[in-house]
Structure formats: C-alpha cells, structure tokens
Amino acid sequence: MLDSTCIFCKIIQGSVPSVVVKENEYVTVIKNIDPKAPIHYLIIPKKHLVDIASLTEADQQFGWQILKIARDISTEQNLSGFNLVSNNGAVAGQSVFHLHFHFISGKNLYSGGFTL
C-alpha cells in the first residue's frame, strides 16, 4: 500500500518529520515546507497512488476524503476561500509522484494574470 522509496509514504509512516495539520485513516495533511501562500498545506492519501489518472473505483474513498478534509480545514480555520490544486504528470509540474493536493489560502493565485 505504501512505497518505501516515496518521500510522502515516508512522511505518512513517520520516518520523515513533518508538521501534521490534520489526518484521518485515509489522508494526512501537512504544512508545505516551501509555502507559496500564508496557508499552504499538502493533502496526501495514505495509499501510494501516483496521480489522479491512477485512481480506480476501489480508491473512491480516498477521493472523497481529500475533498472532505479540505472542506473541514476551511470550516475549522474560518477561511473565506481556498484553492485546491493537483499537478498530474511531469508535464503538468508534478515532481513527487504520489497523489497530493495543494490546499492554498490567504493569497489570490489569479492576481498575477493567471486565469482559468
């Protein structure tokens, strides 16, 4: 279920230190060590999944738990808004090949001209 060579799997196992913000049986949320905003967390499933494209129906609980914990953090921290971003594949900027979502708040990511 975990990959012994993956940095996020090592964080989940506790062999690499991190600041845990919140967790449940499916996901761990840690502070990003190189934050791009005042609040920048990583939401990491506790199963080694490479990216969104590798999810199967058997993994659907991980998808729901990622969204649920993002909602819960937003509510608990009384945030007025947040971005939830996942880079999928090297060409999309993914550098750690363990599915994860960036939870970003406190900065408007679109103020520099980026639009969707």
Q: Would you kindly state where each structural domain of the chain is located, as residue ranges?
A: 7-105
Neighbours of 11 (CB within 10 A): 18
What is the CATH architecture of 7-105? 2-Layer Sandwich (3.30)
pLDDT tens-digit readout, 46-86: 999 999 999 999 999 999 999 999 999 999 999 999 999 99
**Is residue 100 annotated as a catalytic residue, yes or no?**
yes
pTM given for the model: 0.95
pLDDT, position 5: 94
pLDDT given at position 92:
95
DSSP characters over 68-114: HHHHHHHHHTT-S--EEE---SGGGT--S-S--EEEEESS-TTTTS-
- Residue 40, Cβ neighbours under 10 Å: how many? 18
How much is the average pLDDT of 33-55?
A: 96
CA 106 to centroid of chain Cα atoms = 17
User: Average pLDDT of 94-116?
Assistant: 91
Catalytic residue among 48, 98, 100, 102: 100
User: What confidence category does residue 114 fall into, taking pLDDT thresholds of 50, 70 and 90?
Assistant: confident
